[in-house]
Chain A
Amino acid sequence: MRKLVSIELFKIFSKPRTYIGFGAIIIIVLAIEFGILLEGDTMMGIIIQNIKDRFIFEGNIINLYLVSYIILNTLWIHVPILVALVTGDMLAGEANSGTFRLILTRPISRVQLVLAKFIAGWIYAVMLVAVMAILSIGIGLVLFGPGDLLVVTNKVNVFSANDVLWRFGGAYAYGILSMTTVAALSFLLSAFADNSIGPIIGTVAMIIGITIISTVGASLLGPVNKYIFTSYLPSWQLFFQTDSGLSTMGHAILIQAIYITGFLGVTIWYFRKKDILS
């Protein structure tokens, strides 16, 4: 299996489109970091405007942790697209290029092939998130330095600098789990298609579409929302709450795990019985 995964990784990193993902991450991180360096004060003024007339902030608000937190918010828009760009092509791309017949004449089972491809795609997704984490923290350390983290949602939370790193560790780990769900979905769609455009766009469309429907129809879909995986994609935010955020983390992880298993299970089931016609 290790050999199969290595081969699949080689295939992934032989394709130019793979580097679009890393290039995009680098550009996004640099753009956000330098944007905050230039306009961070204005941005923070808007964010804290509701309490600015009563309080003054003493200390370094704009620091590496705040910037890294802002970059983490791209996890639910940009990174899923970049993950689907590669994992959506993993099965559909082979079908399109007609190489399945050649591969499947080898003494490997279809299940082994699918699992090896999925693991390679997962490694790519992990690397994307890891590059984002290392870049945002590394560049943030050089440009801004450490400090306490200010998180403003419906409450104002200030986390001490020595209480932040484990939160980021948890958030990035959960981010990897979220992106694994995205990878599994695009991988599933890839099994049904002979062209990678459909699975890539289909994955992004499904995530955005389900998100919009569950947001706009929150009151109608309330009971169902807690079982939809898109509701939990941004649950890494729970690591930056002080009020029982982590108690719902278990539920979020379970839902994601169920969807990953389900998507992968259906992919394996379908691919096993699929007629290879190309």
Chain B
Amino acid sequence: MIGYSLSAQDAESLLKAVGQNMDKISRFEADALVKVDVDFINIKDRKMKVRFESPDKFSFEAEGLALLPKKGLQMDYLQLLKGKYTAIDVGEELVKNRKTRIIKVIPEAEDSDVILAQLWIDTELTRIMRMKTYTRKSGSYIIDFEYNTNFRPLPDLLTVSFEINNMAFPSKAMNEMMTKGFQKPDSIPKKATVIVQYSNYKIVNK
């Protein structure tokens, strides 16, 4: 019981440290290259400008039309860590040769979209290496963070993975039915991966 309480406090302290690491940033701007890898979506890589202003204001400026994952790009974990939650330390794991602690986070707010999140936190640099989230509205997704430098908590590569169904689109052109006949929608969920490569960070600290 005491051991569990101590462990829960350690988990919470670690999460707080991650939040504080991010809180040091007043605003930042970066270039991003977005690659969408989904079986039924054809879109070329898109260049984008990402801007952030503390505490949680994100804006994106894309060349043309860009498809961005609903979760993952806007540091959703910041929202999670600012609310009330229960943190459970479930062990350690090596992620990309970094020693991480695995912490399960259960938001206490009843109306929270996030049901459960699991974070792999680099204990030395106090930043997230991986995050797995289960949500009410958007299903589950995994975010992998890669960093090219030890000096900032912002990633250089973000990989967001989730599953998506290719259901029959309501605007399925009639001519497709004419030439191919009615096709049953593919009900097997497809794996979707969105890779965002960040560069040219311009960071302003508080």
Which A residues are within 8 Å of any B CB, using their own CB? 46-47, 49-51, 53-61, 73, 76, 147-148, 150, 152-158, 160-161, 211, 214-215, 218-219, 222, 225, 230-231, 233-235, 237, 242-243
- Complex contacts, A225 vs chain B, CB 8 Å: 178-179
B44 at the interface (CB under 8 A from A): yes
Are B164 and A158 closer than 8 Å at their CB atoms? no
B60 at the interface (CB under 8 A from A): yes
- Complex contacts, A154 vs chain B, CB 8 Å: 40, 166, 168-169, 172, 176, 183
30 cross-chain CB contacts under 8 A: A51-B67, A51-B164, A53-B138, A54-B69, A54-B70, A54-B139, A54-B162, A54-B192, A55-B68, A55-B69, A58-B65, A58-B66, A58-B67, A61-B65, A73-B173, A148-B65, A152-B169, A154-B166, A154-B168, A154-B172, A154-B183, A155-B42, A156-B41, A158-B64, A231-B178, A231-B179, A233-B175, A234-B174, A237-B175, A237-B176
For chain B, residues 116 to 170, give those with C-beta under 8 angstroms from any C-beta of chain A. Answer: 137-139, 162, 164-170
Are A158 and B165 closer than 8 Å at their CB atoms? no
Are A59 and B167 closer than 8 Å at their CB atoms? no
Closest-CB distance, A256 to chain B (whole angstroms)? 14
Distance in angstroms between the alpha carbons of A126 and B181 in the assembled complex: 30
- Complex contacts, B40 vs chain A, CB 8 Å: 154-156
- Complex contacts, A153 vs chain B, CB 8 Å: 169, 171-173, 176
Are B42 and A56 closer than 8 Å at their CB atoms? no
Contacts between the two chains (Cβ within 8 Å), count: 122
B109 at the interface (CB under 8 A from A): no
- Complex contacts, B180 vs chain A, CB 8 Å: 218
Interface of A is mostly: mixed
Are A56 and B169 closer than 8 Å at their CB atoms? no
Are B64 and A148 closer than 8 Å at their CB atoms? yes
- Complex contacts, B138 vs chain A, CB 8 Å: 53-54
Known A-B contacts A152-B169, A158-B42; the reply to A57 vs B176 at CB < 8 A is no
Are A147 and B65 closer than 8 Å at their CB atoms? yes
Chain B's closest residue to A212 (CB) is: B178
The 4 lowest CB-CB distance pairs between A and B, nearest first, are: A218-B181, A234-B175, A148-B65, A59-B65
Chain A's closest residue to B183 (CB) is: A154
Chain B's closest residue to A66 (CB) is: B65
B4 at the interface (CB under 8 A from A): no
